[in-house]
Amino acid sequence: METIIDNAYEFLWNRLKYQTEAGLTGGQHRAYSGKTTELFVDNIITLFKSRYPALDIEVRDDRDKIKVMGKDGKTYTQESVDRHVYINGKLELIIECKTYLDKCYLQRATDDARLVRKGVPHPIQAWVISLENGLSDMAYNFFMYQDDEIYVNECFFLTNGKRSSAAPLYKNNNYQSRLNKEKIQKLIESFDHFFRTYQ
């Protein structure tokens, strides 16, 4: 487990270090940041494939559309989130990946998870993994616990403090003081617990 934790931490550290030093433009920063959490999740799942070789673990991106039928049984929509994790051929975990999570993004993630769950004939887990936290406590509690039914099971934030547009992670080496290895460890332990249940 320590190897996976160290690898995940170093992966994020190196991505943010490159972003800090590469002299990217504003648009390039947005594009690079948008891929960081997705690639981070892909890297973690690859490491767990080695840890649990007896499991057939497959990760698909948002092109993996889930058909959700309307009440009339005729109309439908097709929904997805950033990462769909299949174990032994069945969708078991969906993950929304964010650079930062604010009220609007959590609201959308909650609704996306609700719809995808509706299109899957068995219970699944839904997580949000975000580099930064841009939520108030009120917004977090409302969207995580607004209903008797839980649509998003877990939100993981990987840095200390709250997001500030004036002090992004890639400026002035902010990532060095804010990237939190203990939070990454908590995420890795959650992945381990998740995969272990299918052993």
Q: How far is CA 143 from the centre of its chain?
A: 16
Say what the pLDDT of residue 123 is: 96
The domains of the chain, with CATH numbers, are 2-196 (3.40.1350.10)
Question: Is residue 83 very low, low, confident or very high in pLDDT (cuts 50, 70, 90)?
Answer: very high
Pick from 193, 195, 12: nearest CA to 97: 12
Average pLDDT along the chain = 94
Q: Which residues sit opposite 130 in a β-bridge?
A: 98, 157
Over the stretch 17-43, which tens digit does the pLDDT of each residue have?
A: 999 999 888 889 889 998 999 999 999
Please tell me the number of Cα atoms within 13 Å of 36 on its side-chain side: 28
Average pLDDT score over residue span 88-109? 96
173: left (phi over 0), alpha (psi -120 to 50) or beta: left
Give the length of the chain. 199
